Every structure is written in C-alpha cells, then in structure tokens.
Amino acid sequence: MAFNTLLALMNYECKIRQEGIHTWSEIWLALRSQSDRTVAIIAKVDNTFDSIDWQKAISQNKAEWNKDYGSGRQIRWYNKMAKSKQQKQAVRAITVSNKVVKRIEDNIKIWLNHYSLLQQ
C-alpha cells in the first residue's frame, strides 16, 4: 500500500491488484515508441518476489484498467486507502537520510548499467 501511495504522490497511475491470496502493484505508463507513437505499457511490480514484468496494455482504455482490481474481499479498501489523504501525509512524513538516498541512487545506477549491458 505504501508503494502505491508513493507512486500516486509522484503522479503515476497505479493500483493494487489481487488474485487469490497474492497482491502486486500495477503502473500504467504511456511510453513513446521509436516511431513516435504512444504505447500503453503496464508495469507489474511484485515486491513479494522482487520482480517487475512489463506488458503491453491489452486495452488502451486506462479507465477500464483502473477499475479491475482482481478478486479479494479487501482489495477495493486497500486501493482506496493507498490514495487517501491520510496515507499520502504519512508517506510524505517519512524522512530518508542522505546515506540511504546515496545507497538507493548507487543501486539504481548499478541496475541501469547492468540492464543497458544486457540490451547490447
């Protein structure tokens, strides 16, 4: 829930989705292709299994995608709370030390360098 709140604060369209007892985050991204077309991509971020999967949106309709939370008794509540004013205030109040910021930035640089080497 906090991850989705953080994404919402960063103005990303996101939601928590559930199938069975497992949940993950989905982020709707509009990316520009090499031919200068906009392509809708969904990033499935699974913090439980430390993975990100990318898929082209089956439908270009963001409103339809945004309503589909999967199944689960409390999944609508989690999505509502993730975007609530109280959760946003709580996430904004989290302080991150300079040491942690540097560690995160260094890890991102390592990942980006590794990823770009794989693409060559």
Task: Return the biggest CA–CA distance within the chain.
Answer: 45
User: Is 14 a member of any domain?
Assistant: yes
Domain that holds residue 44: 2-94
CB atoms within 10 A of CB 4: 23
Write down the pTM of the prediction. Answer: 0.78
Angle CA 111–78–49, to nearest 5: 30
33: pLDDT strictly greater than 90: no
Q: Based on the structure, what is the number of domains in the chain?
A: 1
pLDDT for residue 48? 92
In percent, the amount of the chain with pLDDT more than 70 equals 94
Q: How many residues does the chain have?
A: 120
User: Is 109 a member of any domain?
Assistant: no
Alpha helices in the chain (DSSP H): 2-9, 62-67, 75-82, 85-92, 98-119
119: pLDDT strictly greater than 60: no
41-98 tens-digit pLDDT:
899 999 999 999 988 887 768 888 988 999 988 999 999 999 999 999 999 999 999 9
CA 63 – CA 59 distance, rounded (Å): 10
